[in-house]
Amino acid sequence: MTAVAPTSAAEKPVEPPPAQRKLRRNLTPWVLLLPGLLWLVVFFLVPILTSVSASVQQGDYDDGFKLTWHWANYADAITKYGTQYLHSGIYSVLCTVLCLALGYPVAYFIAFKGGRWKSLLMALVIVPSFTSFLIRTIAWKTILADNSPLVRTLSDLHVLKITTALGWTVGDHVLASPAAVVCGMVYNFLPFTILPLYTSLEKIDPRLHEAGHDLYCNTFTTWRRITLPLSMPGVIGGTLLTFIPAVGDYINAQLLGNPNTGVVGQKIEDLFLRNTQGYPVGSAISVVMMVGTLILVMSYIRKAGTEDLI
């Protein structure tokens, strides 16, 4: 009797009963998921909740902050920083539109005319990103400096007079102006637009173009009626991948702008790191900003109708 029991127990793990196997199959994904998801919950979701609570606190670093349901923080967050919200909004929308306008021809060219140079050209799009983006953004200080060939040419052509009249540049300088900020943003986010655009353009069968031509469409009509609709997933993905980081970006505004080009991100950093009482209002601004971004992104996705973003 006792001799029989161990052998059956030893055989069991090799061939577990169906119920046990089913349990294991149901548990395995969660064992795999849990550590990573836990990390995201603790260090992404919980912080957002903490900052929602922080946004209605009062106090300073020395005495600590207390939860006083001080909703006036939100009133401050929304009313005091109107210009910064406006700048963030204008710059990020402008940046997204320009990135699309510049990125589409490049992605189109690489996808359909790239031939055997395709992968090399795509590498050229990505390779610069491996140099620190701060160093690359600061390089624009050299390119847009007052004595640089580019700026001198623009000045000689009287272009700067027009742009200054429009408020894009300041006097004879391109640096430290809204134009420089947007230029830096477009430069930084262009690869994020090109990559998804290229992915969706590359999937399009070039024979569809021939079909369009056979049916007497000119190149533009073929693009508008065939290529553009088929590349919509790339357009949506590209604009989102550009717009979301652009809204929060304050690197370009800080490095290439002037005190009049302030954006929301700079204010949040100021309030958190250089203001002993600013942390609740800073939290309130980031809550407002995140809710705003999420609403915009969700409504955009719903309108554009793409569900599978990842």
Residue numbers 67-96 binding another protein by CB under 8 A: none
The answer to the question of residue 310 lying near another protein (CB under 8 A) is: yes
* Binds another protein (CB under 8 A): choice among 8, 13, 132, 207: 132
Q: Which parts of 219-278 interact with another protein (CB under 8 A)? A: 219, 240, 244-245, 247-251, 255, 264-265, 268-269, 272-273
Cα–Cα dist 268/190, whole Å:
25
- Size of residue set near another protein by CB under 8 A: 82
**Residues numbered 23-62 forming contacts with another protein, rule: CB under 8 A:** 25-26, 28-30, 32-33, 35-37, 39-41, 43-48, 50-51, 54, 61
> Which of 75, 127, 228, 295 lies at the binding interface for another protein (CB under 8 A)?
127
Residues 6+ apart with CB under 8 A from 11: none
Report CA 301 to chain centroid distance, whole Å. 15
Contact present, 180 and 141 (Cβ < 8 Å): no
Q: How far is the CB of 298 from another protein (least distance, A)?
A: 10
Print the binding letters for residues 175-214 with another protein: x by CB under 8 A, - otherwise: ------------x--xx-----------------------
Q: What is the largest CA-CA distance in the chain?
A: 103
| Least gap, CB of 304 to another protein (angstroms) | 15
Rule CB under 8 A: choose which of 147, 207, 259, 274 binds another protein.
Answer: 147
Least separation in angstroms between residue 194's CB and another protein is 9
Interacting residue with another protein among 20, 68, 129, 221 (CB under 8 A): 129
The nearest distance, CB 43 to another protein, in angstroms, is 4
Pick from 139, 211, 232, 295 the residue near another protein by CB under 8 A. Answer: 139
Nearer CB in complex with another protein: 1/199: 199
Shortest Cβ 146–another protein spacing (Å): 9
Measured from the CB atom, the residue of 3 and 35 that comes closer to another protein is 35
